[in-house]
Amino acid sequence: MVEFGAFASETWMPASMTGQIPASDELVVGIVPKLTLRPASTGLGIAVNGLAGYGVDRGRLEYASLTGIVTLPAIDSLNLNLNAGWGWNAAGTGHELFLGAQAEWTASSQFLFMAEGFTRDYGKPGGQLGARWMMPGGRVDLDLLAGRYVDSETPTSLTVGLTARW
pLDDT means per 10 residues, the chain with 166 residues, are 89 60 73 96 95 93 96 93 95 87 96 96 91 93 94 84 85
Say how far residue 92 (Cα) sits from the centre of its chain: 19
What pLDDT does residue 16 have? Answer: 58
Give, in order, the Cα–Cα distances in Å from 25 to each of 12, 55, 57, 66: 5, 11, 9, 26
For the entire predicted model, the pTM comes to 0.81
Using CA atoms in the order 133, 138, 140, 146, what is the torsion angle rounded to 10 degrees? 30
The amino acid sitting at 142 is L
Give, in order, the Cα–Cα distances in Å from 10 to each of 82, 130, 159: 27, 19, 10
Which residue segments constitute the domains of the chain, with CATH numbers given?
Answer: 2-164 (2.40.160.160)
What pLDDT does residue 138 have? Answer: 85
| Spatial distance between the Cα atoms of 5 and 83, rounded to a whole number of angstroms | 18
Q: What are phi and psi of 42, to 5 degrees?
A: -80, -5
